Amino acid sequence: MESEAQRTASAGVVRWLAERITGVWDLLTGRPLSLYGAAVLRIGYGLLYLVFLLREFPHRDEIWGPGSPWTPALARQLFDQTGWFSVLVLSDSRAYFELCYALALVTAALFLLGWRTRVLSVLFAVVVTSFHSRAIFMTDGGDNLVLLMSLYLVLTACGRRWSLDARRDQLKTVRQADAPASARSSLATQLRDGRSMLVTVVHNCGMFLIAAQVCFLYGSAGLYKVQGASWGGGTALHYVLNLELFGPWPALSHFVDEHTLVVAVAGYLTVLLQVAFPFVLFGRLKYPVLTMLLGMHIGIAVLMGLPLFSGAMIVADAVFLPDRFYGFLPRLCRRALRRTDNGSPAPSGGPGPGAVPAQGAPVCGPGAKHGVVLLTGREDTAPSGMNPARRR
């Protein structure tokens, strides 16, 4: 009896493991997950880096060019030790640097628009890596996250939604639907299906890496804060608000610092949100948590002057919103526009008492309850309480 029970338990464990493995395999190979989230990452990081390069355009030579205090020779010595690489140090010519900068702007813009995303994602990762490693001592933390996400986005199918590639594929599908069906060999069909499955698996693994990276970032940041005495005492944000290096608007920082209770509660809430973030992703509690994190990052951007870091974190948080949320946004916008159009006032002051209604329009008035007048040149039905002779 004992051996029979052991065999039954072992068979149950094996069956449970087989079901879990089958479920994970179906999840990886069934369909690409979070395509809208990947598109938001592409648009967000492409826009962020394009704005970043445009903002630093007047200072490009001092940061990355031949006139930088961190010269190309020093950068090459650091690369020999760290293994980094940058296309900006392949030549010390100013013309070469200006060409690289122009190509970086074009690459970020095309990646943002989603044109030939498979190729542009690789070029965008090369651009971000090159500029980051060229001036590695002049970053603020947001560059590190953008660098990691640019590498992860190479694995994803981030151009299938909200992109020029998606529009081109849609037009191609319409043309193929109108054209006569062509015979395909079984080998070509198998190769196409195999390629589709491979792209799906790589995309899903890339999205998992992105989600794991964000969870690790929040969790580790929260755990490091727990170990600090200033965060435990509720005074950490007080010291942050009084740092001259991270205070673009000192008057605003001092105004916020005067509300000591609010500052202390915000500090404790920051630690709680970061530690709890990885544990609330599989329930509805993630929506208020993401909303509060959005407010926290906006506060960091305004009070500490770190817009690139805050923008990178906000874009990374957007990956945890489901596709049905992004699919609902266009309908919500159209509904809001429709309500605005319906509620807009008429261009004129409205019809006067002697105005004639439009052809075929019902006459609506205090007495028009039991009938409709069709203005077709004769009276079909007269509303109760209305004198036809008076209407003429």
Mean pLDDT of the chain: 82
Mean pLDDT of 325-346: 75
| Res. 217: pLDDT tops 90 | yes
- CA distances 8 to 1, 13, 19, 46, 47, Å, are 11, 9, 16, 55, 58
The residue whose two tokens read 């001036």 is 135
Question: What does the alpha-carbon distance between residue 128 and residue 104 come to, in Å, rounded to a whole number?
Answer: 9
**pLDDT tens-digit series, residues 117-160:** 999 999 999 999 999 999 888 776 678 899 999 999 999 999 99
E-assigned strand segments in 288-346: none
Share of the chain above pLDDT 70, in %: 84
Q: What is the helix (H) or strand (E) element at residue 253, kind and residue range?
A: helix 250-257
Q: What is the DSSP letter of 390?
A: H
CB 392 within 8 A of CB 381: no
Q: What is the helix (H) or strand (E) element at residue 16, kind and residue range?
A: helix 2-29
What pLDDT was estimated at residue 374? 31
| Res. 204: pLDDT tops 70 | yes
Return the CA Rg of the chain.
Answer: 31
CA dihedral for 298, 303, 304, 308, sign (positive or negative): positive
**Token representation of residue 52:** 């970043």
User: How many C-beta atoms surround the C-beta of residue 322 within 10 A?
Assistant: 12
What pLDDT was estimated at residue 372? 34
Q: Please indicate whether residue 27 or residue 135 has the higher confidence score (pLDDT).
A: 135
